[in-house]
Chains A and B, each alone.
Chain A
Amino acid sequence: MDGSTQAPEALLRVERVSKSFGAVVALQDISLHLPAGEITGLVGDNGAGKSTLIKIISGVLAPDSGSIEFRGKPANFASPAEAREQGIETVYQDLALAGNLAVWANVYLGRELTVGPKILHILDKRAMLSKTGEMLERFIRNVPPIAEPVESLSGGQRQVVAIARAGAWGSKLILMDEPTAALGVAETKAVEEVIFELKRQGLTLLVISHNLDQVFRVTDGVWVMRRGRVIGYRQTARTHPDEIVSMITGAAAAAGAHA
């Protein structure tokens, strides 16, 4: 495959992973890798298997066969918590935040700081409030009001918080499923700035997107999937949207078959 001669070392390798749901084959013998420190796109039509693949990498689903290697070690995570512990965070389109909780509470959700007797788990709200600001400022230029409930923020601000939260907890790899699908132009730009900032600080990112403009704006390389298989890898600078579209739709393969 084109990608195998890439210069940067791979942070994550997926080797011959397959996954079926009953009679439906979602992933068929998938192999791909994510170059460390790069933003990699993952594109394909609905039902190509992108979300299933992300769920396998992040420990939500277990593969039927095949293996995953993260930072050079075998990594078949039993749960998202295990994946998170190893430094893989996932940002979903709309499930990410609890709207009724303040920004700081969402940043610390599941990782609350506590004080006093261990058994009571009394929240250390003051410490969490004061640290949330610093954590988000690392990645966000205009940090939203951290004491306000998330439901009072705009969709873009929410997504920025969700992505920055993933970066703030020292993760190595962030998986993003359609991070800007529901956002306007300005908000999309703000989210992309955070994505660039994460890369600048050394994180590796995998972005699922249906928006090819965005893929070409943001990514260093793209994997294309179709009907549960990997079609190929292209370096973004050396390909063209037309080529990616033909790989997504199968026009390229059809043309090849006729040749």
Chain B
Amino acid sequence: MSVRRGSRLAAIARRQGVLIAFIALIAVLFAATPTFGTYQNLINVLQQNSIIGIIACGMTFAIILGGFDLSVGSVTALSSVVGATLMIDLGTPGIPIGIIGAVLACLLVGATNGGLIAYLGVNPFVATLGTMTVVRGLIYVATNASPRFGVPYSFTTLGLGRLFGIPNPALLFLVVAVSLGFVLHRTRFGHYVYAVGGNAAASAQMGVNAARVRFAVYVLVSLCSAISGIILIGQTASATPQAALGYELTAIAAVIVGGAPLGGGHGRMTGTIVGVFLLGVVANGLNLFGVSPFWQPVATGLILIAAVAFDGYSKRGGFGSF
């Protein structure tokens, strides 16, 4: 497939449009406000976006598979509440038990999502909307909708501490992104996620166990939410039942802005990371310019629409030949 010379720049713009927009945004912010480039501000951006970033890494798998997971916000809160409750009741020795309990609770929800979608053929929207609502409701019932305080303060090292000057949540985000990027792009499992997302019938015909791939992906997404929920405990030494409300849509937006279409079959982990930070830096920029935080969802929504419209426009041949 030879790309004509004249359209090579257009091809780069098409493929790397979001990355170019991201770099341009950072350049503008650097020029426009001295605060943006300060160490403290950049650390803030990392700190604020790591939790959603970890969720978005898992969401990337679900979207490439041709689905998505609306329950990630509720599952993050579940992880937080279960983990915090165990840590509060058992004290410092309860920290590992709290982590294990939080992960197991989340995996149970992930397995439910995966079972419904992969083996019972329930539509991902319906299945995860259901678990999203049920899990959030159960959290309210169990906590009487009141926060849990009193997690051993040492645990805040995880959420607020730094290593080599970098916030620990950002380091965890890095570990998750690199390892899941490896799984997605280098291993047979990741390859099958693309195959099933591209053509499930053809994959099954060639001997790929499409149901098992689907199941595993939804379990993986829930594991990412579990990690995020545990970091949330570490940021406040407490857990709130209302935690992570709306995270599902932010995570899905980040993945789509990063170049993975909702139809499945396409997308890259690096795209998701750019998507996460593009949305995060816009929010930070608005903040620095003293714009009301109420404008932040407006900006996120507009970026989402712009990114998808740009993608569709360029695919129809708006930027030279295809």
A in complex with B: yes
Could you tell me which A residues sit within 8 Å of B by CB distance?
Answer: 80-81, 84, 90, 92, 95-101, 105, 109-112, 114, 120-123, 145, 148, 152
Are A98 and B1 interface neighbours, CB within 8 A? Answer: no
Q: Which of B187, B189, B203 contacts A98 (CB 8 A)?
A: B203
Decide: A95 and B187 in contact? CB cutoff 8 A: no
- Some 14 contacts from A to B, beta carbons below 8 A apart, are A80-B205, A98-B265, A100-B194, A100-B197, A100-B265, A101-B195, A109-B208, A110-B203, A110-B206, A111-B206, A111-B207, A121-B188, A122-B188, A148-B1
Known contacts A148-B1, A152-B1, A92 near B198 by CB under 8 Å? no
Inter-chain CB contacts under 8 Å: number: 63
Q: Which A residues touch B214, using CB under 8 A?
A: none
User: In the assembly, what is the distance between CA of A100 and CA of B188, in Å?
Assistant: 16
Q: Which 6 A-B pairs have the closest CB atoms?
A: A100-B198, A110-B206, A110-B207, A100-B265, A121-B188, A98-B198
Q: By the criterion CB–CB under 8 Å, are A95 and B208 in contact?
A: no
A129 CB to nearest B CB, Å: 13
A174 to B15, CA, bound (A): 39
- B5 lies within 8 A of chain A by Cβ: no
Pick the most buried of A81, A100, A120: most chain B CB atoms within 10 A of its CB.
Answer: A100
In-complex Cβ contact of B188 among A95, A96, A123, A145 (8 A): A123
Q: Which residues of B contact A92 (CB under 8 A)?
A: 205
Main SS class of interface, B: helix
Q: Which residues of B contact A105 (CB under 8 A)?
A: 191, 195
Docked complex Cα distance between A148 and B208 (Å): 21
> Which chain B residues border A109 with CB–CB below 8 Å?
195, 202-203, 206, 208
Among the listed A95, A111, A114, which residue makes an inter-chain contact with B201, where contact means beta carbons less than 8 Å apart?
A: A95
Q: How far is the CB of A217 from chain B (nearest CB, A)?
A: 28
For the complex, give the distance between the alpha carbons of A98 and B191 in Å: 11
Whether A145 contacts B208 in the complex (CB less than 8 A), given A100-B266, A101-B194, A109-B202, comes out as no
- Smallest Cβ-Cβ distance to A107: which chain B residue: B206
Secondary structure dominating the interface of A: loop
Instruction: Report the bound CA distance from A97 to B188 in whole Å.
Output: 17
A98 touches B202 (CB 8 A): yes
Known contacts A100-B266, A109-B195, A121-B188: does B205 contact A95 (CB below 8 Å)?
Answer: yes
Given contacts A99-B199, A100-B266, contact A112 B1 (CB under 8 A): no
Give Cα A101 to B266, complex, Å: 9
List chain B positions with a Cβ less than 8 A from chain A.
1, 186-189, 191, 194-195, 197-199, 201-203, 205-208, 265-266
Note all chain A residues with C-beta closer than 8 A to B199: 95, 97-100
Contact flag A114-B188 (CB < 8 Å), given A101-B198, A105-B195: yes
Q: Least Cβ distance of B189 to chain A in Å?
A: 7
For the complex, what is the distance from the CA of A152 to the CA of B201, rounded to whole Å? 20
Query: Least Cβ distance of B64 to chain A in Å?
Result: 9
Instruction: Please report the C-alpha to C-alpha distance between residue A152 and residue B206 in the assembled complex, in whole angstroms.
Output: 21
The distance in angstroms between the C-alpha atoms of A123 and B195, with both chains bound, is 14
A122/B187 in contact, CB under 8 A: yes
Known contacts A95-B201, A96-B205, A121-B189; 10 further A-B pairs (Cβ under 8 A): A90-B205, A97-B202, A98-B195, A98-B203, A100-B199, A100-B266, A101-B194, A101-B195, A109-B208, A114-B188
B1 close to A96 (CB less than 8 A): no
Contacts of A101 in B (CB 8 A): 194-195, 198
Q: Is B195's CB under 8 angstroms from A121's CB?
A: no
> What's the Cα separation between A78 and B34 when bound, in Å?
69
Q: Shortest distance in angstroms between B14's beta carbon and chain A's nearest beta carbon?
A: 14
